[in-house]
Amino acid sequence: MSESKRISVGPKKTIADLEAVTGQRTPFPGQSGQPQQEVDGRSGQNHWTYHYQLESSWDNAPWAVNHDNTDPTSPYYGDKYFDRTGEEQNQALKEAISRVFLEHKKPDKDGPMWLLAWRMYPNKDHPRWKDGFEGCGCNCGCYAPKPGPEPGP
């Protein structure tokens, strides 16, 4: 059975959007943060970076696996970017990120000292998102390291 409405993914971001929130020297006005640390007298720069909160995201990857986009009554019929393998790709991405993360931020006998969480946003500047296309089956948000046995090479 086909659904009559499109399932959105997003929010859509540009590289500039993400640059604006990941490398700032101070919190947004009115937002809590660490007190100003000593500023380097020669460069006038703080020696720390404030990473703003990443906006929530939503995906449709689990839904897309079972959606029949070859059905002419599907709202995704004819969309060249619809991807029923997005959930599988997300799982592979999660495992790869976890492997690399553990390679560089090694746990000790007490477990991981660091945790990594991420959001994956549709690139607003890509043609895929220009014509109101919303079904991709590929957006993702997750964390590493994942519990369980350490990922293999």
15: CB partners within 8 A, 6+ apart: 123, 125
Amino acid making up residue 108: D
135 vs 70 pLDDT, higher one? 70
Structure tokens at 116: 């990594």
Structure tokens at 23: 């490398």
45: CB partners within 8 A, 6+ apart: 25, 39
Contact 33, 27 (CB under 8 A): yes
What are the tens digits of pLDDT across the range 7-61? 678 888 898 888 888 777 677 677 666 555 555 556 556 556 777 778 888 888 8
Supply the pLDDT for residue 132.
65
136 vs 153: CA distance, rounded Å: 29
* Unique residue bearing structure tokens 């660091």: 114
Structure tokens at 68: 């029949």
Contact 59, 80 (CB under 8 A): no
Average pLDDT, the chain: 78
Neighbours of 92 (CB within 10 A): 11
pTM score > 0.95 for this model? no
